[in-house]
Amino acid sequence: MSAPDTDVPTQKKRHRPPLLGMWAGLGLVAILFLGWLFMTVGAGTEDGAESETPVTQMDGASGQVEQVSPADAATSDDVTINSPAADAD
């Protein structure tokens, strides 16, 4: 069933303010999201600054997990990988 009396120009006029309000709301959300995104990316550590977040480090031999400061964390230069083939020699 269709509506008995459709007046498209009047309906357009009546729906325009709510539709514009919805678009304005979407625009505000987009602006707030971009602001939040830039603030989050900009809040990272600066060049040369130490991170305060503790690093989880696991000992490969014992499987023991410990929290260490970023300055004390092992780097890729400190890690030695022993393959089973190397142990057989």
Query: Is 70 part of a structural domain of the chain?
Result: yes
86: pLDDT strictly greater than 60 = no
pLDDT 10s digits, 3-35: 777 888 898 999 999 999 999 999 999 999 999
Query: Is 26 part of a structural domain of the chain?
Result: no
* pTM for this predicted structure: 0.46
Query: Is 61 part of a structural domain of the chain?
Result: yes
Q: Count other C-beta atoms under 10 Å from residue 26's C-beta.
A: 10
Number of domains in the chain: 1
Query: Is 68 part of a structural domain of the chain?
Result: yes
Range of the domain at 73: 55-81
Burial (CB < 10 A; 0-12, 13-18, 19+), residue 73, is middle
Query: Is 10 part of a structural domain of the chain?
Result: no
Query: Is 11 part of a structural domain of the chain?
Result: no
Query: Is 4 part of a structural domain of the chain?
Result: no
pLDDT 10s digits, 39-51: 988 876 566 555 5
